Chains A and B, each alone.
Chain A
Amino acid sequence: MALKIVKGSIDRMFDKNLQDLVRGIRNHKEDEAKYISTCIDEIKQELKQDNIAVKSNAVCKLTYLQMLGYDVSWAAFNIVEVMSSSKFTYKRIGYLAASQCFHESTDVIMLTTNQIRKDLSSPNQYDTGVALTGLSCFVTPDLARDLANDIMTLMSHTKPYIRKKAVLIMYKVFLKYPESLRPAFPRMKEKLEDPDPGVQSAAVNVICELARRNPKNYLSLAPLFFKLMTSSTNNWVLIKIIKLFGALTPLEPRLGKKLIEPLTNLIHSTSAMSLLYECVNTVIAVLISLSSGMPNHSASIQLCVQKLRILIEDSDQNLKYLGLLAMSKILKTHPKSVQSHKDLILQCLDDKDESIRLRALDLLYGMVSKKNLMEIVKKLMLHVDKAEGTTYRDELLTKIIDICSQSNYQYITNFEWYISILVELTRLEGTRHGHLIASQMLDVAIRVKAIRAFAVAQMATLLDNAHLLTGNTQHSGICEVLYAAAWICGEFSEHLEDPMATLEAMLRPKVATLPGHIQAVYVQNAAKLFSTVLCGQEGAPADSKVAQETSQLLIDRLPVFVQSDNLEVQERASCILQLVKYIQKLQQKDVEVAEEVTALFAGELNPVAPKAQKKVPVPEGLDLDAWINEPPSGSESEDEGRKTKGKAVFAREESRHTKPRYTEVDEKELAMRREVRKAEQANNPFYIKASPSSQKVYQEAVGVEHIPVVQIDLSVPLKVPGMPMSDQYVKLEEERREKNKADRKKKDKKKRREKGRQRRGDSGPESEEDITPAHMVDIVTEEMPENALPSDDDDKDPNDPHKALNIDLDKPLADSEKKLPVRTHRPDEVLKSPIEDAEGLEVTSEPKKKSGKEKDKERKKGKEKKKKKHKQEEGEDLMEAGSEEPVQSKVTNDVAAQPPASTPEEAAAVTDAPPASTPDAASGVAAVVPDSEPEETKSSKHKKKKQKKEKDKKKKHHHHHHSDGAREESVQNGTVEDEEPLPPMSNYAMLAENSYIKMVCDIQGNLHDGSQVVVSVIFENKCDSFIKSMEFNVMDSLNSKLQRPEGAGPHDSLTVPFHLPPGISSEARFIFSVQSIVMPQKLKGTLTFIVKTEDSSTHEKLDFKLHFTCTSYLITTPCYSDAYAKLLESGDLKGSSLKLEGINQPFHHLLARICFHHHFSVVERIDSCASMYSRSIQGHHVCLLVKTADQTVSIDAKCDEPGLLRNVLDEIKLTFSQC
C-alpha cells in the first residue's frame, strides 16, 4: 500500500510526455480505455501544478487524446493558460490545442481577446503567426469584431509570412463580422499586387472565396484579375483566378468573349493537367453564358469536347473522372456535341470504379432523347441486375426514374413500357426507394389518362402477388409500392377486369402485417372497390347474391383492421365496417344501394402542384398576422424583456435600430406574439399544422430511410407471373417504329405522286418529331391556384453565412465606414467591474495610435515633397499621444470611481465620423479629380482623408477638454504652409450653464437610421462639490421625441449614467427620434442633479433649450465629381440661392466652415469656386456651388427637398453673420 503511494507520487513527479503516452497506449491494447482514463487523471494532476512546462506537456497530451475521440473541453481554461505563456514552445502547443477543440460556444474564448491581441502585435513573427493560425480555427463573431482592426494592420506587416496569414484570416473575419468587409476591402485589393507571391496567392484565394458566393460584387475586379492571369506563372494562382472567372462570366458575357482567347492559348500550351482542366471548365462556363452569337463558338466547344475525350480515355482514373464531370457541364447547353460520344460514356458504365460509373450515369441523364431512351434504359436495367451492393443499385434505380421522368416525361413515347419498367424495378431486393417507385406509379396513372386501364391491370397483379414483394420482411422499403397499387386499383376501379378478385387480394389477412399507412390505403380502397362491385352487379339483378357475398367478405375481413393498433387504420376500418353492415341490411331488403354507395367516392381527384399552396396570393386587405381577438395580457416574458432592455438606453441603442423606431416596436411585438401563437399551436393537438403537400407529409411521416433493409436471399430471380417484360416493349416499339416509317414512306410516295414533285424520300435517321407516341397521351398538368405568383425563388437557404457578405464593394466608402467600427461596450457589459472596463478601454485606444503612425511611414516613402509636413505631423502625433494620456487616465479614473459610464472617448469613437475639415483636408479633396483616375490613388486618398478625420476628431476632443489656447498651436502645425491657418472650431455648442455645471452639446444625425438623431452632451462640473444623480429630461414635441427605455412613460426623465467629481467632465449620449427633418426645431429640457458637499447636499436644476437645426440632420458624405455631375443632371433637384455680403475671410476658411459646421464635403474646388455635397439622414441630396468675388459669396444650392434646403441656407447665413 505504502509502496503504491510512493509510486504514485513518483509518477506524478516523473510526468509522461506525449511519446510516453503514445507508447503506453500501444502497450495497453487490451485495456486501452482504462489506461487512458488513468492517464487523464494524471493529466488533471499535472494541470493543477504551477509549472507552465508541465501544464503545456499535459495540454499536448490532451490534444492527442482529443484525436482519439476524448472530450477535452474541460481543460479549456488550462489551454488558455498555456496559450498565454511567453515561450513560443508552449504558446504553440496552447494554440494548437485551442484550434483543435475550441468552437463558438466555448466560453473561455471570451478571455482570450487581449492575449491574442498581444500575440498579434508581438515583435516575434512566429508568435504572431501562431496566433493567426490558431485564431483562424476558432474565431467567433466577438473575436472578429474586436480584432478586425489589429488583423487589418497586420495585412501591411513588413514580413510576407505575416502578411499572407493576415490576408487569409480576413476571410474568416468577414464571415463572422460582415461589417468589416467594406472597410477592409481596399487593402485586400492592394494585396492582389503584393510583391510576395505567397501574399498575392492568399489574396486571390480570399477574393475568390468571397466572389464565389456573391460574384456580382466582384465584377469590377475583372480587369485586375485579367492582368494577373496573363502575367502570373503560379499555377495555384492561375487555377484560382480561372475558377473565379468561371463564376463571373455568367454575369458579364463581354468578359467571357475576352477570356476565350487567352484560355484557349493556355489549353494549348500548359503541361499541367490541373490547369488544363480548369481552363476547359471555365471555357465551358463562358460558352454557357454566351450560349450563342460567337462566330468561332463551335470551334471552342469542339476543342473542349476533344480535350475531355482525351481525359476520359486516359488510363489515369482521376482524369477520367474529371473528364466526365466536365462533360456533364457541356451537356446542359450543347447536348448534341456530347451525344456523339455516347459510346464512350456507356463504356464507362462498365468501369470498375464506382465514382466513374456514377458520373457516367449523370451524363446519361442529359443524353437521352425520344429515340434512345428505351435503349439506354435497357442497358441500365442490365446493370441493375448485375450490380453488387445496394448503394450503387439504388443509385441506378433513382437514375432510371430520373431519366424517364425528366421534364414531364418528355422522352417517353410508350407509357406501357414505362409502367412495366416500374413494375420490374419493384422486384429489386431491399431497395430503399420503394416510395420513389410508388410516387412514379401514382403520378403516371393519375396524369396519363390513356394508360389507366393498363396501369390498373398491372397494379392488380402486383396486389395479387404482394407476398412476393413483402416476403417475410414486412419492413422492406419496396412494400411502399403496394400503397400506390392499392390506391390506383381503388381509384380507377372501373378499369378492373375482376374487381372482386382484387378486393379479395386486398383483404387478405397478411395485409395486416404491412405498415399502418399502407393498411389505411388498403381499407379505404377496399371500400371503393366494394362500390364498384355493387355497381357492376346491380345491373344484373339476378346476381344480387354476388353483391351480398361481397358485403359478407368485407364484414368477415374488416374486423382484423378494426383491431389495428394504427389509429388511422382502425378508424377507417370501423367506419367502413359499420357502413357495409348497414348496406348489407338494405341489401337483404332488396334495396338498390349501388348508386348511393358510389356517390361516396364520386368526383375526380386532380393532381395539385407541390408548391400550389405557397403560391396562393394573399387577398388584398387580409392581414394574416392581425389578431382576431386581442391576446390574453400579462405574458411574463414580455415584461421581463422590457425590464432588461430598460438599462440600455445610453449604451449603443442606435446601431440596433436599423428601422424607424415605431415600426420596430410593432415588429418585435408581432414576432413575440407569433412565437407565443406557434407554441400554443404546437401544444394543441387539434391544430392542423401547415404542410406544403400531402405527399411530403407522407414521406416524412414514414421515414423510409429508417426502415432497416433486410435482403431476401433468393438465388433464383423473381419472376412474377403474368407480368410483361419491358424488353418485349422495346421489341414491339422497334417494330412499331419500322411500321410507322413504312407507313409514312408510303404516304410520302402517295403525296409525291399526287403532287407530281420530285423530292427525295427522307431515308436518313428519323428526327425526334418523327417518333409518334404509341398512345395518345394526355399528360395532365398539375393544378395551380388561380392567379398564382410565378416567382420561383423560394429555394434559397436563409441560413447561408455568405448572404451577409453580399455587400456592394464598388460604392465609395462613406466617412463612417472608413475605419472599422471600434469596439464599444455592449449594453450588458455596463454591469462589468469598473477595473475591467478601464482596461478594455486602454487597450482599444492603442492600435488606433499605432495605425496612424504606420500610415505616416507609408506616406513618407511616397512623397518626398511633403517631408516637412510629415515631420510636423509626427511631432503632432507625439504631442497628441502625450497630451492624450492625461485625458485618458482621467477617464479611467472616472470610470473607476463610478461604474456604468459611456465615456467621452468611447462616445466619440462611436459617433459617426464628425464632419470636420481643416484647410489642408479641404484642399486635399479639392484637387481636381480626373474621371479616369486609377482606383489605387483613389483609395490612398481615402486613407489620407480618413487620417485627417481621425486627427480632427482627436483635436476636437482636446477642444472640449482643454479648451482654447494651447491647442490652437498644434492645429496650426497641421495646416498647409501656403494657406492661412484656420481659427479653432468646435461642433459643441453651449447648451446651458450655471455655477455648478456646464453643458455643451453636439447634435448628429444617425447614418444608419433615417429617423434618429444622436445628441452628445458633455457635462462639466464647475464647482468644488460632487455632483450626482443627474437626471435629463426633455419635453417631447410631436415631431421629435427623446427615446426612453421601454416601459418608461413619455414624461419620465433619463438618469445620466455617471457622477461628476469636481473639475471632471464626461459625456453622455441621448437618442431622439424625429419624423420630419424639413424644419428646425427647439425642445425645452431640464437637468436636475444633486450637489453634494461634505456636510450637505442640495437639489439643483438647470433648464436648457435643445436646438435641432436642419444642419444637424445632414451627414458628411463624400461624393465623386462624376457622381455629382450625374446627380445635378438628373433634374430631380430644386434650386435656391443665397448671397452673403461683406465676407472678408479667405475662401478656404469659408469652405472649411461650411464643411465643419454644416456637414458638407468638398467635391471639387477650382480657384474661388467650389462644389460641395451633403446628404440628410433621410437620403436627401444637398448640393452647393459656392463662388466668391470681392467679399461677396454667392451660394447656389440644389436639393430634392426645398424646405430643407431653405432652412439649411438660412443656417449657413447665420453662421457667417456670427463671425
Chain B
Amino acid sequence: MIKAILIFNNHGKPRLIRFYEYFAEDVQQQIIRETFHLVSKRDDNVCNFLEGGSLIGGSDYKLIYRHYATLYFVFCVDSSESELGILDLIQVFVETLDKCFENVCELDLIFHMDKVHFILQEVVMGGMVLETNMNEIVGQVELQNRMEKSEGGFSAAPARAVSAVKNINLPEMPRNINIGDINIKVPSLSPF
C-alpha cells in the first residue's frame, strides 16, 4: 500500500500532496516539512530509500523518492510494495506528466495542480497501484479531458473570459517570470 504521495520543490514548497490515510491539515504540513528535511539533505548519488520518518508510517514504512531538477517526488509505502517497482512507478508517473503537459516543468505543476491530481488518479487509487502502462494512462486522461472539453470545460464559467480581460491590466504576467531551467529532464527508461 502507498500511504502518501508528496511532490515538493527544492525549497520544500508543496506542489501536490495526496494522503491515502487521514491526517489533519497541520499534521500534513508537518509531515511535508519533515519529509523535505529528510530528503533534501541527501546527495543525489545516495540511495533513494529512506526508513520512514517518525510522523508517517513507522517501522513498516519507507520513503521512496526521486529528484528531478527542481522537484522531489516522494512516495511513502509499506513493505508490500517492491522498492524498485515504486521507483519505476515514479518514473512512469513523471513520464506521463511529461506527455500530458508536453515537456513538463515545475510551472505546470504549480498552475495545474488539479490536472496533476487527475493524472495521478489514473495511476494510483486509494493507495494501490491502478495502472502502470503509460499509454493506457495517457489514453484515459485524454479521453476525460476530451469529455471536459465537450462540456465546454471550465471556460463555460463566465469568470474565465473576464479573468482574461483582467489580466491585461496586470503588470506582472506569469510568463514574464524568469524561472531559468526548470524543465524536468526525463532519463531513459530502465528495463522494466
Contacts and interface: CB of A to CB of B under 8 A. Distances in A.
Contact of B82 (A18, A22, A53, A239): A239
Contacts of A69: 25-26, 28-29
Contacts of B111: 18-19, 22-23
B143 to A, nearest CB: 7
A87 to B, nearest CB: 5
Nearest to A276: B84
Contacts of A23: 111, 174
A1013 interface: no
A212 B87 CA distance: 22
A1196 interface: no
Interface of B is mostly: mixed
B11 interface: no
A1038 interface: no
B148 A243 contact: no
B80 A355 contact: no
B113 A63 contact: yes
A164 interface: yes
A582 interface: no
A961 to B, nearest CB: 43
Contacts of A68: 14
Interface string B111-135: 1111001100100011111111100
Interface in A111-155: 124, 126, 132-133, 136-137
Nearest to A351: B46
A137 B20 contact: yes
Interface stretch (A318-326, A900-908, A983-991, A1155-1163): A318-326
Contacts of A27: 172
Contact of B114 (A60, A71, A87, A243): A60
A281 B111 CA distance: 43
Contact of B25 (A71, A124, A322): A71
Given A209-B1, A272-B191, A126 B118 contact: no
B154 A318 contact: no
B80 A209 contact: yes
A1088 interface: no
A205 B1 CA distance: 9
Interface core residue of B84, B131, B190 (most chain A CB under 10 Å) = B84
B85 A274 contact: yes
Contacts of A54: 157, 159
Interface range, B side = 35 or more
Given A27-B172, A355-B50, A64 B154 contact: no
Interface stretch (B67-75, B97-105, B160-168, B180-188): B160-168
Interface string A892-928: 0000000000000000000000000000000000000
Contact of B129 (A236, A243, A317): A236
B49 A133 contact: no
Contact of B140 (A71, A136, A161, A321): A161
Interface stretch (A9-17, A843-851, A853-861): A9-17
Contacts of B46: 317, 352-356
A755 B87 CA distance: 68
A277 B81 CA distance: 12
A165 interface: yes
Contacts of A26: 110, 174, 177
Interface in A301-355: 317-318, 320-322, 352-355
Interface residues of A, number: 76
A227 B50 CA distance: 35
Contact of B151 (A13, A88, A136, A354): A88
A13 B126 contact: no
Given A13-B162, A126-B144, A66 B25 contact: yes
A274 B84 contact: yes
Interface stretch (A89-97, A257-265, A482-490, A532-540): A89-97
Given A54-B159, A205-B128, A96 B148 contact: no
Nearest to A60: B114
Contacts of B85: 235-236, 239, 274
A356 B47 contact: yes
Contacts of B165: 14
Given A165-B130, A169-B125, A277-B82, A18 B147 contact: no
Contacts of A137: 20, 126
A164 B133 CA distance: 13
A738 B114 CA distance: 72
A1070 interface: no
Contacts of A273: 84, 190
Contacts, number: 187
Contacts of B138: none
Contact of B84 (A19, A243, A318): A318
B163 A17 contact: yes
Contacts of B129: 201, 205, 236
Contact of A89 (B143, B151, B162): B151
A283 B80 CA distance: 16
Interface in A804-853: none
A735 interface: no
A212 B121 CA distance: 25
B151 A67 contact: no
B132 A236 contact: yes
A206 interface: yes
B160 A17 contact: yes
A20 interface: yes
A172 interface: yes
A132 B25 contact: no
A3 to B, nearest CB: 15
A800 B117 CA distance: 30
Interface string A585-622: 00000000000000000000000000000000000000
Contacts of A322: 49, 83-84
Contact of A67 (B17, B20, B87, B143): B17
A128 to B, nearest CB: 12
Contacts of A100: 18
A318 B49 contact: yes
Interface core residue of A23, A51, A132 (most chain B CB under 10 Å) = A23
Contact of B148 (A88, A136, A205, A352): A88
Contact of B191 (A16, A57, A271, A353): A271
A208 B26 contact: no
Contact of B128 (A209, A317, A318): A209
Contacts of B9: none
A273 B84 CA distance: 8
Contact of A355 (B1, B47, B127): B47
B191 A88 contact: no
A68 B152 CA distance: 29
B48 interface: yes
Contacts of A243: 80, 82
Nearest to A322: B83
Contacts of A353: 42-43, 46-47
Contact of A274 (B24, B82, B136): B82
19 contacts: A14-B165, A53-B158, A57-B154, A63-B117, A89-B152, A92-B144, A126-B143, A126-B144, A136-B125, A165-B125, A165-B130, A169-B125, A198-B133, A205-B129, A208-B80, A212-B80, A236-B85, A272-B192, A318-B47
Interface of B: 1, 14, 16-18, 20, 22, 24-26, 28-29, 42-43, 45-51, 80, 82-85, 87-88, 110-114, 117-118, 121, 125-133, 136, 140, 143-144, 147-148, 151-154, 156-160, 162-163, 165-166, 172, 174, 177, 190-192
Interface of A: 13-20, 22-23, 26-27, 51, 53-54, 57, 60, 63-64, 66-71, 87-89, 92-93, 96, 100, 103-104, 124, 126, 132-133, 136-137, 161, 164-165, 168-169, 171-172, 198, 201-202, 205-206, 208-209, 212, 235-236, 239, 243, 271-274, 277-278, 317-318, 320-322, 352-356, 358
What are the 4 tightest A-B residue pairs by CB atom distance, in nearest-first order? Answer: A136-B126, A274-B84, A317-B47, A103-B22
Given A18-B113, A126-B147, A137-B126, 4 more contacts: A133-B125, A136-B127, A164-B130, A236-B129
